[in-house]
Amino acid sequence: MQGGEDPALRRECAEGLLAAGFDGYGYGGWPVDDDGGLVDAVGVTARLIPDGMPRLALGIGGPENVVAAHALGYRLFDCTLPTRDGRHGRLYTFRGGPAAGLAGDWCERVNIGNERFRRESGPVEAGCDCACCARYSRAYLHHLFAIKDAAALRLATIHNLRFFTRLFDRLRARP
């Protein structure tokens, strides 16, 4: 459902799409404001989609925004951010480890290219069961990015995708 930040245009688009009768509906447009939070149109669009219909959040991929969109009723997400961030050495972790909740400051972004990771022997995230964390240290991943080894891109992407799988598991477990 398109319409920018104009609720009337969103409603007009929704009416046309609902009349056509699709199996589900999605938020379309730029979803993030200048402060990194969700724009109001994401919530407006969610309320225009009838109960029981799948809600797809296009372009919503930051962990905090995924949690906020989930609270609005979105259950399907399509965004390049987790893989793009991985390819640029930006990895997500749960602050406080795998058992951490989703309240407060629960997510951390690790820029593996930072010099401080050059000698860190632990995994990207302690307790993470992804192939990257199970086998390689932060120092090794830092090294792979430093020498521009293609394995760095793959390992970081694997970690971020597993992070999101675990995030969705937590969201599904919520009442």
Q: Is the pTM of this model over 0.95?
A: no
Same domain, 40 and 75: yes
Last residue of a domain, one of 81, 102, 126: 81
Domain count, the chain: 2
Give 122-174 pLDDT, tens digit per residue: 999 999 999 999 999 999 999 999 999 999 999 999 999 999 999 999 999 87
Task: Tell me the β-bridge partners of 55.
Answer: 25
Whether residue 105 is predicted with pLDDT greater than 90 in this model: the reply is: no
Residue 104 resides in a domain: yes
* Pair (98, 163) in one structural domain: yes
Q: What's the rounded mean pLDDT across residues 62-91?
A: 96
Is residue 2 included in any domain, yes or no? no
d(CA 94, CA 23) in angstroms, rounded, equals: 34
103 pLDDT more than 90: no
**Contacts of residue 78, Cβ cutoff 8 Å, sequence gap at least 6:** 26, 56, 57, 58, 59
* Same domain membership, residue 123 and residue 150: yes
Confidence at 97, pLDDT banded by 50, 70, 90: low
Kind of pairing, strands 76-78 and 107-111? unpaired
The boundaries of the domain holding residue 168 are: 89-173
- If asked whether residues 94 and 147 sit together in one domain, one would say yes
Residue whose tokens read 């919503």: 60
38 with 109, same domain: the answer is no
Task: Assign 28 a pLDDT band (cuts: 50, 70, 90).
Answer: confident
Confidence at 111, pLDDT banded by 50, 70, 90: very high
Q: Which range has the worst mean pLDDT, 89-98, 114-123, 140-149?
A: 89-98
